[in-house]
Amino acid sequence: MTRSFTSLDDDEFNRLFRDFRYTAYRLETLQRYDVSYEQDEFARFLAGETRGEFPGIATWCDTVRAAVEAGKRMHRVHVVTEPLSDYVRFECGWAYEHTVEAGEDVRLIVVVADDWPAALPHYDYWLFDSSHLVAMYYDEEGRFLSGELISEPAKIVEANLWRDAAVSTSIPYRTFAGQSRPGSP
């Protein structure tokens, strides 16, 4: 059985971030996401402005802090290709810096475009408590199309295997940010 939603504001989807008991994990595979709560800030980043108030990230940081304070773990792995896209540079400097500070374990796998990790899909998802899988679908421009709550055991097990492979081959965001590379934050 599956349940789909077409908005990141969907109540059932957002309830997962409040109700998970132990872990919330995200695999990110896109080099650009085009979501409404980041558009103004991304435009400011591209214009060379300094980071100011960023309500979308501030709200996310509050969610992360509350989970971490309750003893839960929030973590993600983003597979990023070099050279880094403008969006990934934005995400690192204007988002990850702050979500890591809030307690989210952000990790990256750095690859060249044609060298995608064999053990990982080109597939975004959230996995809550290793048992609630939400597939995330985007168009070619990174605009969110839909999410799908998946209850099929084989797909949930596969997502757990992908998580384990991604975490074991990734580096912490702070390590990545400290490395010297052209175009990095």
- Tell me, what amino acid is at 99? T
**CATH number, domain containing residue 127:** 3.30.870.10
Overall number of domains in the chain: 1
pLDDT tens per residue, range 33-87: 998 888 888 998 999 988 777 777 888 999 999 999 999 999 999 999 999 999 9
In a domain, 104, yes or no: yes
Nearest to 74 by CA among 109, 54, 102: 102
- Cα gap 128→20, rounded to integer Å: 6
Give pTM, 2 decimals. Answer: 0.92
Nearest to 36 by CA among 11, 63, 3, 59: 59
- Cα gap 129→160, rounded to integer Å: 10
pLDDT given for residue 184 in this prediction: 45
Confidence of residue 163 (pLDDT cuts 50, 70, 90): very high
Give the pairing type, strands 124-128 and 73-82: unpaired
ω before 121 within 30° of 0 (cis)?
no
> Domain range for residue 46?
2-178
In a domain, 185, yes or no: no
